[in-house]
Structure 1
Amino acid sequence: MVDETADFAALIRELKDRSGLSYGVLAKRLHMSTSTLHRYCNGDAVPTEYAPVERFARLCKATPDELVEAHRRWILADGARQRERKSAANAANATAATTATATATATTAAATPPVPPPEATTAVPEATLAPGPTPAPTPPPAVEPEPEPESALPVTATAPRNRRRTTLFAAAAVAVVLAATALVPHFMSGNGGGDRKQEAGSVTSTGRGTPSSSASASASAKSTSSPSASTSPSGSASPSGSATAKSGASASTGAKSGGAADAAAVPLTVTTRPYAWESPCGQTYLVDRDAAKVPPPPTEQDAPSWVSALGAVSADSQYLELTVQGTGQDTVVLQSLNVRVVDSGAPPAWNVYEMGYIGVGCGGGVPTHSFDIGLDSIRPAVTPKSGQTGLPYKVSESEPEVLYITAAAASHDVRWYLELAWSSGTRKGVLRIDDQGKPFRTSGMSGRPQYGYSLDTSEWVPHQAD
């Protein structure tokens, strides 16, 4: 973690020094404490979200390439922090499991009654087992052997009963130990929040891939030998199989279908920011509310909760930020990125609200790996922006890629998602990229009333686009 955090801190210190702005000025504009900003620049902490890093870099006049590099270094530093936390959690789980096992074993041993030694049945003198009357000096001609007294029978039957009882106690002890061992890791890991607080409105997607031939043979053998194995299509691996993991308090990922084995076979993840802004005032939203009932424009990091609370829809265009990263050392090739339209209709008759503020200038460059999608087309496609190269790209754990997608709609209300085809060695597959399990939604806004926010009156006022 030290190297990744140090590299990240070195970059933001360089941006800060070059800007000529003090810690106090930057902290005030970023709405954070000066001490927190000091910790970021000194490498003592890493932001849990990328949004403040991006705002910091833009305030320091970072170039598009520097913005991409800042994002890359933040991803690596944050990933190192997650690995460190997982290692600590695993160590705590192992310690707790060992303690629980030892406690259960000690409790079982204390509850098990002592077993009499085997000598107890063999060392008893014969005279005590069957005292009987003293025999006559001259035995009668027909004297039958005298039966053993009943008082001696419980002594000889003690050992078998003790052995049965001991067996039962031993079986119960094994069950207790196994239950304790299984439950403790569950309780320890059930924090409900994952390793870190994931940015609101972000989605981490994983998909299923085509397993290698040996893995396929193993899966086939298991399916044949198990009479209860599922034969439904959703349980079978295929080259085009895909799955999406919804966002949560964890950046935890998981496949919808195919199980843990399929998810583990996918060598990459895609983290999506569906409400990123290309510039501070470059985004508009359709909202089914009067201007008096709409709160002021949010900051970029608060846009997802603002959109969710109002049921807003991205208007005219939607700007997506996709961070693609490998999960191992193997290189993964991003083969193609395709658009899938779920539904298309007329735009809703709602009001349009422009982010930013009236009279305040906005700016922003075009970062590398930027793509356009024309959602009004009969067959929308992902096309590189002018002068930029398109897919295929290569990614790994240490070399992520950030893709910027601008999806435009002028005359339709479109619900859509993306499919990312990948390959790595003999494996290949497709990742579905959407908005927390739902399609993205982008709508045209032609002819709709438009509003801008005035800092002078602190209210939304009718505003016409330039």
Structure 2
Amino acid sequence: MSGETGSTGAEGATEFSQLLSGLKERSGLSYGTLAKRLHMSTSTLHRYCNGTAVPNEFSPVERLARACRATPDELVELHRQWILADAGRGRRPAGALAPEPEPASAPEPVAAPVAAPEPEPAPAPTASRRRRRALIASAAAVVVLAAAVVLAVRPTPKGDGGAAEAAATVAPATDPTTPDAPAATPSSAPAPTPTATPTTPEPDDGPAPLTVRTRPYAYSDPCSQHFLVRREPGQVGPPAAESDARRWAGEYGAVSSDEQMVALTVQGTGAETVVLEALHVRVVSKSAPLAWNDYAMGVGCGGVADTKSFEVDLDRGSPALAPGHGQRAFPYTVSESDPEVFYVIAHTKAHDVRWELTLDWSSGGRHGTLRIDDSGTSFRTSAATGRPGYDYPPGASRWSKRSG
């Protein structure tokens, strides 16, 4: 890819592939072993690590990183570099010009008619000539109509009262300095566009200069994610990996149990820096916890380092986000080439809570607030205290009741 924009994308892909390759080498696992664990071909994995291909989704990258025991900070940086590589590969090179259109058989542009064109010595006009003559006739009609309109709104001499009344029925007077301009009366004739004093339009700030992509069910590990489902074990399919969690939750009407980790990828839409002033949580509704069954998405997970995140206790009267595990507080800055990934972990032990986030931002002289939810629906987290729990052990073909 050539040009400045293309090289930016190439640099992002290089950084991304170097991180992947480094994790793979550190793990000591061969391409074949890793490919089997990740259920992908060895050649595909090799292309990801040498930079000749970028995955369309982050999910396979995350599975690879976790198989190589990446730290939470490495996962965040890997996600950031994947965003840049993914954004850079589909762009047109800077300075690239669109191909000029080939000459078409459409009629040539016709200037304002000053005289009728000379007839062409042909036994019968061709289709293109007939079209050209029709356009000339139409243009002439427009000029005649415009002239009639000018005459209609031109001030009439004082001695010709009848002509003044006729002009008023065609179009209202538009001179704002005339105090007693005659009111327009209904007429079947088309009224010309009034000539008004130019006014300065109100500024249109346009869309916010940033985007937020949301993963409503992020796993720190499979064992960290539980769902409440209003179905018996025989009616619920096997647990879902993080990449399939949204579909699984939608299919079974599942609600996050006790805790929910939401991942936010915030990125500017241009080179200009956007300041992320603050992130807030807003409780939409709070009620008694759901009396459903609890299903774990993983069993027997090992210890995993705590992920940098913002924690929120949804049971509090006024829930607020608090930085945890090394996460620094706001503000942050982002741009198109410098995104940020945030993890928000919400907890509840006593309620069924519907909630959402709001992000305050500023850029230059502009500022605003973005609402963040799950594709137009509030996030939902419910306590599971005292509810029956079910696990799906490795190699099993059905859910089994959790002991204790």
Q: Report deviation, 1:459.
A: 1.1
Matched, 1:430 2:369: yes
Unaligned runs of 5+ in 2: 1-8, 111-115, 122-128, 140-198
Q: Which residue of structure 2 aligns with residue 392 of structure 1?
A: 331
Q: Distance in 1 between matches of 2:315 and 2:387?
A: 18
Q: 2:380 corresponds to which residue?
A: 441
Name 2:256's counterpart in structure 1: 314
Question: How many pairs align?
Answer: 325
Confirm whether residue 285 of structure 1 aligns to residue 285 of structure 2: no
**1:262 is paired with a residue of what secondary structure?**
coil
- Tell me by how many angstroms 1:65 deviates: 2.1
Change (3 A) 1:78 1:434: same
Percent identical: 52
8 Å CA contact 1:353–1:452 kept in 2: the answer is yes
Instruction: Give the TM-score normalised by the residue count of structure 1.
Output: 0.64
Q: CA RMSD in A?
A: 3.0
Q: CA deviation at 1:397?
A: 1.9
Q: Report matched runs for 1:1-400 at 5 Å.
A: 1-84=9-92, 98=101, 102-103=103-104, 105=106, 117=118, 166-170=132-136, 221-222=200-201, 262-263=206-207, 266-357=208-299, 360-368=300-308, 370-400=309-339
| Paired AA for residue 30 in structure 1 | L
1:409 aligns with 2:341: no
Q: Which residue pairs with 2:170 in the alignment?
A: none
Answer yes or no: is the 8 Å Cα contact 2:307–2:325 preserved in 1. no
CA contact (8 A) 1:298 1:306 kept: yes
* Per-residue deviation, 1:81: 1.5
- Which deviations, in whole Å up to 9, do the C-alpha atoms of 1:107-157 show, x marking residues without a partner? 999xxxxx973699xxxxxxxxxxxxxxxxxxxxxxxxxxxxxxxxxxxxx
- Change in Cα spacing, 1:105 to 1:393, as seen in structure 2 (3 Å) is same
Amino acid at match of 1:381: A
Amino acid at match of 1:441: R
Structure 1 position 454, deviation (Å):
2.4
CA 1:39–1:168 in structure 2 vs 1: closer, same or farther (change >3 Å)? Answer: same
* CA apart distance, 1:306: 0.7
Q: Would you tell me which structure has more helix in proportion to its own residues?
A: 1
> How far apart, CA to CA, are the structure 2 residues paired with 1:119 and 1:106?
16
Q: After TM superposition, give the deviation of residue 416 of structure 1 in Å.
A: 1.0
- Distance (whole Å) between structure 1 residues aligned to residue 94 and residue 138 of structure 2: 33
Q: Distance in 2 between the 1:119 and 1:308 partners?
A: 71
Following TM superposition, by how much is the alpha carbon of 1:364 offset from its aligned partner in structure 2, in angstroms? 2.2
Alpha-carbon contact 1:333-1:422 (below 8 Å) kept: yes
Q: Which has the larger radius of gyration?
A: 1
The separation in 2 between residues aligned to 1:280 and 1:165, in whole angstroms, is: 69
SS in structure 1 at match of 2:74? helix
Q: Which amino acid is the alignment partner of residue 307 of structure 2?
A: P
Say whether the 8 Å CA contact 1:376–1:411 is kept in structure 2: yes
CA distance in structure 2 between the partners assigned to 1:277 and 1:172 by the alignment: 67
Deviation at 1:361, TM superposition (A): 2.6
Task: Return the offset for 1:366.
Answer: 2.1
Contact 2:212 2:265 in 1 (8 A): yes
Secondary structure class of the residue paired with 2:399: strand
Compared with structure 1, are the counterparts of its residues 8 and 348 closer, same or farther at alpha carbon in structure 2 (3 Å cutoff)?
same
* TM-score, normalisation: structure 2: 0.73
Specify the code of the residue in structure 1 equivalent to 2:69: K
Question: Could you tell me how far apart the structure 2 residues matched to 1:107 and 1:331 are?
Answer: 47
CA contact (8 A) 2:59 2:243 kept: yes
Q: State the alpha-carbon separation in 1 of the partners of residues 43 and 137 from structure 2.
A: 59
2-side partners of 1:20 and 1:412: how far apart? 46
